[in-house]
């Protein structure tokens, strides 16, 4: 239901805003909660660190997808480039030994650079989406949650947390936008997501730093931190030229 709500809001306010909205951890947040309930605070805190690393991998995905799409690449080629970038960065940084706060600082710097590398592509047009679009997004996101939580024991906390950040929902938005509207729509989704990832990272910063000491209340604190950061980045995004 959260994903359906975000989809409808994104349709109302445009491609960049839809990308920004999915920065809220609708999918990975519940995954981390399930990991906490099933495997304990230590496992979930380590998974939260993996999700922070996922910010770096997702930024790489957005930059590479946008670069290929801007050069005229097809949607499949753009996705392949993004997935390769995600996998390379995720694999390289998965076992990074660094405290949550410095890791978030690194993520913030990377996101600022990524935003510069994915400039606004200009105007897009509005089109009618097929009726099965919304149910398909909901089903795919639910399957991802079930697959990652079901395989968490075998994958381990860091890899589970990293895989939880695969931008499935943003990919669906970008894929449909690319096919129905054009590459500019897809690029604007990824650009909006880069702004939203500041709040995403704040959510996992709080969980990684406080989950073992606070337990379940850490999720409420993490949600508050994410919402505050989302409010800040929304103001910045709205002040920039938008050409929906």
Q: Is the pLDDT of residue 242 over 60?
A: no
- Give the confidence band of 173 by pLDDT, cuts at 50, 70, 90: confident
Q: pLDDT of 67-78, one tens digit each? A: 998 888 788 999
pTM exceeds 0.75 for this model:
yes
* Domain layout of the chain by residue ranges: 2-239
Based on its alpha-carbon atoms, the radius of gyration of the chain, rounded to whole angstroms, reads: 17
Nearest Cα to Cα of residue 208 among 195, 222, 193, 192: 222
Is the pLDDT confidence value at 243 over 50? no
- Tell me the mean pLDDT in the region 6-26: 78
Give the integer Cα–Cα distance in Å for 123 and 73.
Answer: 19
Closest to 24 (Cα-Cα) out of 194, 191, 200? 200
Report percent pLDDT > 90 for the chain: 36
Judged against a pLDDT cut of 80, whether residue 235 lies above it is answered with yes
């Amino acid at each position: 239901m959260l994903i359906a709500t975000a989809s409808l809001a994104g349709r109302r306010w445009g491609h960049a805003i839809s990308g920004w909205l999915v920065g809220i951890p609708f999918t990975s947040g519940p995954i981390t909660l399930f990991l906490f309930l099933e495997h304990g605070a230590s496992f979930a805190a380590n998974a939260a660190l993996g999700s922070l690393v996922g910010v770096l991998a997702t930024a790489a995905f957005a930059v590479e997808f946008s670069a290929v799409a801007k050069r005229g690449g097809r949607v499949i080629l753009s996705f392949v480039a993004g997935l390769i970038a995600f996998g390379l960065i995720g694999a390289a940084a998965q076992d990074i030994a660094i405290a949550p706060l410095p890791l978030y600082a690194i993520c913030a710097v990377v996101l600022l650079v990524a935003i510069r590398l994915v400039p606004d592509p200009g105007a897009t047009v509005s089109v009618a989406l097929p009726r099965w679009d919304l149910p398909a997004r909901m089903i795919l996101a639910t399957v991802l949650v079930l697959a990652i939580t079901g395989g968490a024991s075998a994958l381990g906390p860091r890899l589970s947390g990293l895989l939880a950040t695969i931008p499935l929902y943003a990919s669906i938005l970008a894929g449909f936008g690319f096919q129905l509207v054009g590459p500019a729509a897809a690029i604007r989704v990824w650009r909006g997501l880069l702004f939203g990832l500041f709040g995403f990272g704040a959510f996992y910063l709080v969980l990684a730093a406080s989950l073992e000491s606070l337990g379940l209340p850490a999720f409420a604190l993490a949600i508050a931190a994410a919402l505050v950061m989302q409010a800040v980045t929304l103001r910045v995004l709205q002040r920039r030229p938008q050409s929906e």
